[in-house]
Amino acid sequence: PGVNFKFIPDQDQPLFARLYLASDSMLTGLHELIGHGSGKLLVETEDGCNFPPDLINPLDGKPVSSWYGIGETFLTVFGDISSAWEECRAECVSLYLCLEEAALHVYDFRDSTIVEDCVYVSWLGMAMLGFQGLQMYDLETSTWGQAHSRARFAILRMLMAAGQGLLSIQKDEAGQNATLALDRTLIRTVGKHAMAQFLLKLNVLKATAKIEEARSLFESLTDVTGEWIELHAISNKHRFPRNLFVQPHTVIVDDEVQLVDFE
């Protein structure tokens, strides 16, 4: 209560105040446990490959034609985009799985109304983080300063590209602020399909060490040019310092221990 969620519509502020923390906790759990905890790499070792020779690539329907060679790892092959790619993959896993009843029940979201509100807050909240993530992009050097921010911005761009009015950014007349508009009725249809296709690419390109395709895809989703330069300025106008959490202190006054806390 009392917190203003940047770039979120006014009518959704009470909903975010009530459900954002719980929804974010659910996404974090799915992100860490299943997102980072899944995804097999196709690897060649001195004893052979860890996959059958007739394995089919689901992206093109053809036999797998690339994999990690002896001594190669995801980090050595994907290099500078590896961290952001992996964070993007884990975030997408959490957004996709939060649509599943079994996952929602683990976090005690059971009432049908609460479930749909939670899904809406989760998806719009990710878009919010993606738009705020622009603040971590340096226009002068054309570089991203934070892997999570780049990952979430890629998700924002992907959802906007899904079309059919799923997600849009609406600027005010003065060009000083922006509002994210997510059509909640399309999350389980247009949104889920777009997320599934994107997640499939993230998983398969990582598994098969296809760095050229991966880099092309990721850079197309995370470049900041054209209209995004203006949106970058808007996002930065609403930048605020990160919260600083300070533990209470104990002091002795007249031989008595007193607790001193801070606002």
Q: Are 153 and 124 in contact (CB under 8 A)?
A: no
pLDDT per residue as tens digits for the range 162-177:
999 999 999 998 889 9
pTM of the model: 0.90
pLDDT per residue as tens digits for the range 127-185:
999 999 999 999 999 999 999 999 999 999 999 999 999 999 999 988 899 999 999 99
User: Is residue 32 annotated as part of the catalytic site, yes or no?
Assistant: yes
pLDDT per residue as tens digits for the range 19-43:
999 999 999 999 999 999 999 999 9
> Quick one: what percent of the chain has pLDDT higher than 70?
99
Which of the residues 32, 100, 219, 227 is marked catalytic?
32
pLDDT confidence bin for 243, thresholds 50/70/90:
confident
What is the rounded CA–CA span in Å between residue 114 and residue 122? 12
Q: Could you write out the DSSP letters of every residue in 37-73? A: T--PPPBEETTEESS-TTPBPTTTSSB----B-TT--
- Mean of the per-residue pLDDT values of the chain: 94
Place of tokens 């599934």: 196
Place of tokens 């470049």: 223
Nearest to 221 by CA among 125, 128, 133, 96: 133
pLDDT value of residue 262: 82
pLDDT per residue as tens digits for the range 51-68:
999 999 999 999 999 999
What is the rounded CA–CA span in Å between residue 23 and residue 157? 21
What is the rounded CA–CA span in Å between residue 67 and residue 128? 35
pLDDT confidence bin for 187, thresholds 50/70/90:
very high
Least confident window among 2-6, 101-105, 108-112: 2-6
Q: Are 151 and 92 in contact (CB under 8 A)?
A: no
